[in-house]
Amino acid sequence: MSSSSSPPSSEQDIFADVLPKLVATIRASSSLAAQDVNFYKSVDSNLAEDIDASAKRLMNICNDLIRVTDDTSETKMEFGQENITSDVSWNPIGNVLDSIFEKIDYAFDQATKKSVSKAEGKSLEYLDDGSQTTSGNEPGKRTTKPQLKFKTPIDNSESHPFKPKLKSKPHALISFEETLQLKNPKPKYEDSIEVIDPPFYPQPYEYEIDNQPYPDAILEATKPIPSKDWSSTTAIWVDTPEELTKMIDSLKGSTEIAVDLEHHDYRTYYGLVCLMQISNREQDWIVDTLALRDELSELNIIFADPQIVKVFHGAFMDIIWLQRDLGLYVVSLFDTYCASKVLGFPKFSLAYLLETFANFKTSKKYQLADWRIRPLSPPMLAYARSDTHFLLNIYDQLRNKLIEKDNGKLQEVLYDSRQVAKRRFEYTKYRPLTNNISNKVSCPVMSSNPREPYNNLMYQYNVPAFKKPVVEVLYKWRDLIAKQEDESVRYIMPNQLLVTLANLDSPVDTQKVLNVPHYVSESVRLHAKELAELIDKTLKHTEASDWDLVDKWNNPSVNTTNDALDIHDTKELSKATDMLSNLIEINGTLLNNQIPQLLVNESKMYSNIYTSEKPHIMLEFDMKKNAFVKHNFEEVYQERLQALWDGLKELGEHSNVLIPEEEIDQVEEDVEVTAEASQPAPTTTTKPTLFPQDKEIDPNELITLRKRRPQPKKTGQAAQEEEEAPSVDYANADKIMITSKNKRGGKQNKNKKRAFDPYGKESEGPKPAKRAKTVTTGKTSTFKNKRK
């Protein structure tokens, strides 16, 4: 780094020397990796010692390198097979490499800065991200949770649908009272399947967003107004009601403003808006949204004013965060992300717009910073300010381009922006069942099967189906603790850890939990004993219930040995399979896009709809009668779930948790519409029933192959949108250490485009290397064994 005195020619020589050596090293290590080193070590003890010594030396060199490049981190690789093969220990290495590449990138940009500006006659401005000075962002630094200081405490109970947080409705076309009416207060069942969406409070500005006109000026091309000089201006820090009022007064005179947010989602259940950046043509403001959380709905005077255009870049999540934390809604949104799409730019990022239209080179360094930190370091403030400082000028340029093309283009962008502005936040528990909602509603967990969100996890991590009760109970435990302690589920128990725990074999004790070969989170360590008991009990109970099921199947009333289906006759078998899948497709409402698991037992075929919404219904196919018998194992199922629930409740009581579950139909139908309506409803004391009794099903109802209201088959875009996000782990997304592995992941990654919800709560943890096509059931053999 201090080679400023050496001439360029000698620097080139260094590269000429290093490169071949590097390539040779990579070759050697690859070929070494292809050998069975352990075998050679076992034959020759001298060789074994040599290899271990070399490995240790290499590890030390690596650790030295890490220390040199990143003095803030305590990253250190430990020697040992387990550490080297574990994803968790490689993560920090990925981080270090990322930061090295970032620095290289920066250095190259700095080096080419002069020549570029000469060539193009204009100079690129650089964000000082602090990488040349001491780091302003200290990732390890402990922050006390800002939630503790909130005037209105966080309510994770989900005892009612999400209530809009605003206290009045400025610029209303439809009155405040009318928009706060609960919709769908009673769930409706058809064939015991819920057919209408759970109750919800509508997005209060939905109507205004669609019907208030944008200001006429938006339709006219204008000479772009230059941004104020970057380096000679600063932002006003707003963290008191007085400063807020002043800012609002200044904004009232604007015809357009730029807005952006910074968000934190690790040490909180739903997430926290930490910062709001606002710029008009004159001034930048940075608002402390943690300090002013309860005051900021005042800003609706500006945000809901149709005459003031709000320019955001990629407001998809901002719209959700604004209403969730601050009770803010945006009328007259112009999203420059939508404009980038309609204009067909090669990239849709803000960084691209800044570089192309504002000659400003930003850095990704703080995208994932801990924005809860106070006071914010100058580089972090600079980063935040740059997100809105140039945006109005960019808006001018993009608008001109859109108008230049043809008027339809601008209308398209405004239409798309309005769809974004209308999005609604909802708790996971009240997630609408309707297809294709992911564009309209955002929940913390966006699973394609909201009743059993853990199915995704099982599929992703290739967990065998018989482990489902354990996965379910761990998932619910994790959710409960996360809500209680207001932490993210990935802080409480990363997916990988959950799956590892679920895969433990019975019997399970505390030591077994603590000794899993993965990172064990603090919460899991603290609750190890309870978790061990819960897992152990669940495993034992599952086994017992399975035998109950077998007994039911052996019930003579169902037994018809005459109609034996020869399972060795593959033709017959596949015919029956086809018919069964056909029926299941027709009966689409019974299932939730799940492939039924076929169980074959001597004379009959069963479709175990175990993975569907009705886990206790089984279809029996009778070849001779060409008919299906629907079996109801509700009792057994309820008993099993009750046991799980008791386990959970015991835990909850033990750790002083109020079980937050209430049935949907207990939501008060006539909500008094007053200012109080935004306050959490008093929790009823009714005994929670997690799994409602299902009385409408006739256990032995005979159903035949008859077409009923076939559901339109989901194809293309629609199917893709509904597809649950195959967890993209943003924290790891760019890391080269993991990328290759993720790419190998198969089906979902290759063929399905993920519905865009980058901050969904399911995004976490290292991903499994492989994924099976079908989930093994583990039951077929059970039945055979018992019967013989």
CB of 686 to Zn ion, least distance (A): 44
Binding site for ligand AMP (CB under 6 A): 260-263, 314, 367-368, 371, 387, 730, 758-759
Q: Six-digit token pair at 583?
A: 């029926």
Measured from the CB atom, is 261 or 493 closer to ligand AMP? 261
Measured from the CB atom, is 443 or 565 closer to ligand AMP? 443
Q: How many CA atoms lie within 13 A of 476 on its CB side?
A: 26
CB of 263 to ligand AMP, least distance (A): 4
Give the separation between CA 83 and CA 518, rounded to whole angstroms: 9
CB of 260 to Zn ion, least distance (A): 4
Segment interacting with Zn ion, rule: CB under 5 A, options 69-77, 254-262, 282-290, 684-692:
254-262
Q: Restricting to residues 717-776, which ones interact with Mn ion according to CB under 5 A?
A: none
Partnered with residue 605 across adjacent β-strands are: 600, 621
- Using DSSP, state whether 332 is helix, strand or coil: coil
Q: Which does residue 150 touch among Zn ion, ligand AMP, Mn ion, none (CB within 5 to 8 A, set by kind)?
A: none
Give the separation between CA 581 and CA 586, rounded to whole angstroms: 9
Measured from the CB atom, is 196 or 368 closer to ligand AMP? 368
CB of 296 to Zn ion, least distance (A): 17
CB of 351 to ligand AMP, least distance (A): 9
Q: Does residue 335 belong to the site contacting Mn ion (CB under 5 A)?
A: no
Q: Does residue 318 belong to the site contacting Zn ion (CB under 5 A)?
A: no
Measured from the CB atom, is 290 or 599 closer to Zn ion? 290
* 75 secondary structure, DSSP code: -
Q: Which does residue 730 touch among Zn ion, Mn ion, ligand AMP, none (CB within 5 to 8 A, set by kind)?
A: ligand AMP
- Using DSSP, state whether 276 is helix, strand or coil: strand
Measured from the CB atom, is 256 or 260 closer to Zn ion? 260
Q: How many CA atoms lie within 13 A of 468 on its CB side?
A: 20
Residues 677, 683, 686, 691, CA torsion sign: positive
CB of 723 to ligand AMP, least distance (A): 20
| 8 A C-beta contact, residue 392 and residue 311 | yes
Distance (Å) of CA 548 to CA 471, 490, 543, 635, 639: 21, 35, 9, 10, 11
CB of 21 to Mn ion, least distance (A): 44
- Using DSSP, state whether 156 is helix, strand or coil: coil
3-state helix, strand and coil shares in percent for the chain, rounded to the nearest 5: 45, 10, 45
Q: How many residues bind Mn ion (CB under 5 A)?
A: 1
CB of 273 to ligand AMP, least distance (A): 9
Q: Which does residue 263 touch among Mn ion, Zn ion, ligand AMP, none (CB within 5 to 8 A, set by kind)?
A: ligand AMP
Query: Maximum CA pair distance of the chain?
Result: 94
Measured from the CB atom, is 204 or 766 closer to ligand AMP? 766
CB of 417 to Mn ion, least distance (A): 14
Q: Which does residue 368 touch among Zn ion, ligand AMP, Mn ion, none (CB within 5 to 8 A, set by kind)?
A: ligand AMP
Q: Does residue 260 belong to the site contacting Mn ion (CB under 5 A)?
A: yes
Q: Six-digit token pair at 51?
A: 């290899």
* Residue choice 387, 396, 661, 662 for contact with Zn ion (CB under 5 A): 387
Measured from the CB atom, is 274 or 583 closer to ligand AMP? 274
CB of 639 to Mn ion, least distance (A): 49
| 8 A C-beta contact, residue 779 and residue 608 | yes
Q: Six-digit token pair at 544?
A: 């017992």
| 8 A C-beta contact, residue 767 and residue 741 | yes
- Judged on CB neighbours under 10 Å (0-12, 13-18, 19+), 726 is buried
CB of 756 to ligand AMP, least distance (A): 12
Q: How many residues bind Zn ion (CB under 5 A)?
A: 2
Q: What size, in residues, is the chain?
A: 788
* 772 secondary structure, DSSP code: -
- Judged on CB neighbours under 10 Å (0-12, 13-18, 19+), 257 is buried
Measured from the CB atom, is 360 or 606 closer to Mn ion? 360
Segment interacting with Zn ion, rule: CB under 5 A, options 7-15, 20-28, 382-390, 471-479:
382-390
Q: Which does residue 630 touch among Mn ion, Zn ion, ligand AMP, none (CB within 5 to 8 A, set by kind)?
A: none
- Exposure string of 681-714, with b = 16+ CB inside 10 Å and e = fewer, is beeeeeeeeebeebeebeeeeeeeeeeeeeeeeb
Which residue has the CB atom at the shortest distance from ligand AMP? Answer: 730
CB of 729 to ligand AMP, least distance (A): 9
| 8 A C-beta contact, residue 633 and residue 779 | no
Which residue has the CB atom at the shortest distance from Zn ion? Answer: 387
Segment interacting with Zn ion, rule: CB under 5 A, options 129-137, 379-387, 458-466, 590-598:
379-387
* Residue choice 260, 318, 426, 487 for contact with Zn ion (CB under 5 A): 260
Q: How many CA atoms lie within 13 A of 121 on its CB side?
A: 0
Give the separation between CA 630 and CA 85, rounded to whole angstroms: 47
Measured from the CB atom, is 260 or 416 closer to Mn ion? 260
Q: Does residue 662 belong to the site contacting Zn ion (CB under 5 A)?
A: no
Give the separation between CA 708 and CA 714, rounded to whole angstroms: 17
Which residues sit at the interface with Mn ion, rule CB under 5 A? 260
Which residues sit at the interface with Zn ion, rule CB under 5 A? 260, 387
